[in-house]
Structures are given as structure tokens and as C-alpha cells.
Amino acid sequence: MTEIRLQVKPVLRAVVPFVIALVLGGFVLLATGHNPFDFYQLLVREAFGGTDRIASTLSSATPLLFTGLATAIAFRAGVFNVGVEGGFIMGGLVTATVAAKMPGPLAIPVAMLAGAAAGVAVSAVPGWLKARWNVDEVVTTLMFNFVVTGLTGWLVTSFLQARGVANSATPLIPQPNWLPDLLPPYALTSGVLIGLILTGGYAAWIRLSMLGYELRQTGLNARFAAAQGINTSRVIIVSMLLSGAIAGLGGATHALGIVHRFVDGFSPGYGFTGIAVALIGRNSAIGVVVGAILFGALASAGTTAQLFSDIPLDIVDVLSGTVMIFAVIRLWRQR
Amino acid sequence: MIQGLLHSSLLLWTPLVLAALGGLLHRVSGVVNIGLEGQMLGGALIGAIVSQQGWFLGTLAAGATGGLLGLLMSLCITRLGANEIIAGLGFTIVISGLIGYLLRSVFDVSGTLRVNGLDPLPEILGMDPLFWLAIVLIPAITWALRHTAAGLRLRATGDGFDAAGALGLPVNRIRDTAGVLAGVLAGMAGAHLVLGQVGLFNEDMVAGRGFIALAAFYFGRSRPWATALACLLFAVFDAGQARLQTEGVPAQLIQTLPYVVVVVVLTATAVRDSRGKARRAG
């Protein structure tokens, strides 16, 4: 009996916010004269109906896989990192710059490492401040997002601007340095594989390694973990650095795989959707994968559904924001 | 020149300080309000539409909209145990998504809504009424926090949530009230953007001001005068941006200033707290 409950509860916890969001979104659609059932059917068809649609969904899920994983790894340690957006953007800019300048076969790995390092640089300061002086990481990481946005904008317009391009963008990355496509006619790059490998690595690491154990313990109860002899400051810093590295890698694969340069509006809030992904996936590896695919499906299907119906893409924001809110509320009494 | 800069600074200051004072009240009750941005946007849209019936009703409607959104957000936090940061971010995403959706599907415009018969704020002694409201609110809130029973209860709820609850204070209701007040002020700040500055509604018009307001009450350490001064500092930088830019200081870096300031202030506070603790322990 208890075994069944243990199985059902996490699934319910992931599904219920989504269902509530669909219902509330349905009311919005109904109130504006649209049939929600038709629209949701269209969404499902556009998200999963055919190889090209599935490829497009996975492609949209790829950045969310990274930002969701980056968020989950920090949340798991009890560190409330909402600065993944900043790491993603900084990683994208640095990778795009390196890959545009560097020839040769090593360009892709070097550019990706540089992107990861950029993400680490963004998360290191709030992580250290939290570990050393217990500075509230929620506010500092949130603020760092805005700082990074301004900083990257400034770097692009004053130093890295491509010649002959009207809006602020870095030069195009030469084609040999693009991430190879998986299913050639469709825009699904090998970035999704990198994301899945990282997620698998996270699952094994958190379960099997010493540090993974310490991370989980710190997340469950930091004071008890400290009493056990775990160096919680170190755990906090490690989780923040890993989170930053994954966020930076996410930006790197997005630059090398999809955008092929860095432009203004490089991330339409992938970092924030990543929070929703981590929350709905309860910070587990499999949950992050499922969450990323769900939100990726929403984004990719919403974009094409916009073409076939007069329903604007903004409905997707309404849905994902609602999921975020309902993923953190207590839907039933705990215990 | 200087006069022009001063006037535009005060114009930019008004919505910042209104939202920041709202956030301050919520902060004093112990909740960090990340939803100000969305509440401002909601207030701006409704304020613009209702101002067809006059600016006063428009402003009231904007305040009511913000208050309602603030109440919904607060209920999620106090009654349903939602994390305040996630709830705030989530509400901001939902509200801006909903507004973008309504603009495109109901009003049939892409992002910018021109309201026929929009009634701009009038001038009283050279400034608009919401500016004067802000001027009155700063000392009023300072006094109320220090000298009224409501202010004491609000502070007690923020300083010792469990202790205040054990003393029989309706802590959740106090937090909800603070959340509603924050929403009302943020909604009016949105009305100022649309009725006092721009004259039309755009879905991106709040442009991070809710987060700058957050920065201001952190910088001001939840004291009304200090918070208002922080807003003035950010407003002067905002107004002087164009001038500074011609001097070679890039606008994008100036815009990050409020956020850097918050990190510095938080760090300074935390360092002082930990030193204080160490001294007491030693």
C-alpha cells in the first residue's frame, strides 16, 4: 500500500500542476472565443505528430534540458539558484566569440569549455558569497541575471559587433564549427545528446558518489549535514559551480547548434523556464528530462500552432508560468 | 539643462518609489516581493483603458488591479506554502504572457495599445498627483511603521513570524494585507508609466522597473526615506543616461548599476551580521 503511494505521489506532483495550467489556460482560451480542446489537440499534434515535429520538440527541449539540470543540481543542494539565465547568456556569448575566431578541429570542444567557464564565472560569485557569508543567494543570483544581460549587451555593441549587421550581434560562426545535425533534414543537433549525457551523469553522480551523497544531505537538512561532519560550504560552492558550468554549456550548445552567433535576446527566458522544469521534475534526472520535453513541446508546438490558428504564442507563457506557481504550492497537506 | 534633468528624474522617480514603498511594506512583513514587475504591467494596462473615464478612475482601477494580483500572489505564499521567489517570478511570467495574449487576440495589436481618449495625469504645482502621493507616503509610512499598532504588528510579523503568531497576531492576514498594499502601489506605479509618462501602453514598458524597485528597498534596507533616496539615485542615472552616453559611458553598464548595488549592499549587510555574531559568540 505504502509502496504504491510512494510511486504515485511524485508522478501526481508533476502532473497536477500541468493539468491545472491546462485548465486555467483553457478558461483563458474559452473567454477569448477559442475552443481549448481543439487548441490542445493541435498542440499535441504539432508537438509529437511525426518525425519532423518530434525533432522540433526535442530541439526546443535542448536548452531547457541544460537550464533545468543546472537549476536542479543547485536546488538539490538546497541552494536557490535562480541565476541560470545569466550563465546561459554569458556561456553563449563567450562560445560564439571563440568559435567565430578559432579554426581547426579543436574549435568546438574549446569553445564549449570556454562557455562552461563563462557560466562558472557567473555563478562563482553568488556561490562564494553564500558559502562564506551566507549572503541570500536568491536575490544575488536574480540580480546577476540583469547584470549579465547588461554586460553582454555592452560587450557586443562595443567590442564584438559583427560588421554590416544592423542589430547587435556577433559575427556568424563558420559552418565547420557548428554542432553536427542528428537527423539531417531537421534542425535537431547533437546538443540534445550532450544534454542527455550530462543528465545521466548527474543521476549516477548524485546517487553513487560521496559528493553526491553530501549534496543530497545538505539539501535535505543543512544543519544536520554539518553535524554529520559534511563541509556544507564546500557543497554549496560545488553545486553552484556545477550549476554554472551546465548553464554555460547550455548557452554554448545553443550558440553552436541553433543560433550560430550571439544576438540580443539570445535566450527568451530559458533560465526561468528551467526553474519550472526543475520544479516539476522534483530535481531528479528523469524528471528534468520529462519536464524539458513537456516545455519544449509547448514552445515548439505553440510556435507552429500560431501559424494555423490565430492563437498567439503568449498562451505558452501563461501555461508555463502557471505550472511554475502550482509546482511550488502545497496541493494537499504534507505527511 | 539641469532643470530638464531634474524634472525628468522626478518623473522617472515616481513609479520607482511607489513600487518600492509597496515592496518595502511587504518586506517589513517578511516577504520578498518579486511580483512587482507583473503587478506594474497589469496596472498599466487597466489604468490606460479605464482612464477613458478620467485619470482618477484609471489610477484607482490600476491600483485595484495591482491589489488583486498582489492578493492572489500573497494567498499562494501564505495559505498554500508557495516559495515567494518562485510565486513572484511565476506571476510575472503569467501576467506578461496573459497581457501579450490579450493584446494580440482581443485588441488585435502587436505589443502596443493606443487607447482612444486616454486621459493623462494633470499637473498640480508643476508635478502630477501620483508624485505628490509618493511625497506624502514617504513620511506617512515612516510614521505609521514606527508609531501605529498596525505598523508594530507588521514589523513583529516580519521580525519573528512564529513568535508573532504565538502571541495571537493574525500573521497570515497581516502578510496578505501587506501583499495587497504592495500590489496597489505597484499598480499605481504602472498607471504613472502609462498616464504620466508614455501616453500609450506597451507590453515591454515596465522594462525591469519592478526589479529596480526591489533593488531600491534592499539598498534602503526597508527604511522609507533611504529607499526613496535610492530610487532617486537610480532615476537620476536613468535620466542622465543619454548625457552620460555622449560622454562615453555606455548605457548598458549604467543600467546594471542598481543590480550591482543590491549585491554589494547584501554582502555588506551579511558581512556585518556575521562579524556581529562572531563578536557576540567570542
Measured at the alpha carbon of residue B12, what is the angle toward residues B191 and B154, in degrees to the nearest 5?
A: 65
| Nine cell digits for residue A135 | 549572503
Q: Under a CB-based contact definition with an 8 Å cutoff, are residues B195 and B51 in contact?
A: yes
Mean pLDDT of the residues in chain A: 89
The number of CA neighbours under 13 Å toward the Cβ of A191 is 32
Interface test with A, best of B92, B259, B264 (most A CBs within 10 A): B259
Which pLDDT band, with edges at 50, 70 and 90, does A91 fall under? very high
The residue with greater pLDDT, B281 or B201, is B201
| Nine cell digits for residue B25 | 511594506
Which pLDDT band, with edges at 50, 70 and 90, does B23 fall under? very high
Residue B199 has what DSSP assignment? S
Predicted pLDDT at A1: 41
The residue with greater pLDDT, A280 or B138, is B138
pLDDT of B177 higher than 60: yes
Tell me the percentage of chain A whose pLDDT exceeds 70: 95
Interface test with A, best of B86, B103, B237 (most A CBs within 10 A): B86
Measured between beta carbons, the chain B residues lying within 8 angstroms of A324 are 86, 89-90, 93
- Cβ distance B97 to A146 less than 8 Å, yes or no, reads no
Give residue-wise pLDDT tens across range A116-174.
999 999 999 999 999 888 898 888 999 999 999 999 999 998 888 877 776 788 888 98
Predicted pLDDT at A334: 44
Which pLDDT band, with edges at 50, 70 and 90, does A2 fall under? very low
The CATH number given to A2-327 is 1.10.3470
Measured at the alpha carbon of residue A219, what is the angle toward residues A213 and A222, in degrees to the nearest 5?
A: 100
Domain assignments of chain B as residue spans, ordered by start: 2-206
| Nine cell digits for residue A161 | 559587433
User: What residues are paired with A189 via a beta bridge?
Assistant: A181
- Cβ distance B94 to A325 less than 8 Å, yes or no, reads yes
- Cβ distance B85 to A134 less than 8 Å, yes or no, reads no
Residues 6+ apart with CB under 8 A from A86: A122, A141, A144, A145, A147, A148, A149, A247, A271
**Strand ranges for B214-275 from DSSP E:** none
The answer to which of A24-38, A152-166, B237-251, B264-278 has the lowest mean pLDDT is B237-251
Domain assignments of chain A as residue spans, ordered by start: 2-327
pLDDT of B281 higher than 80: no
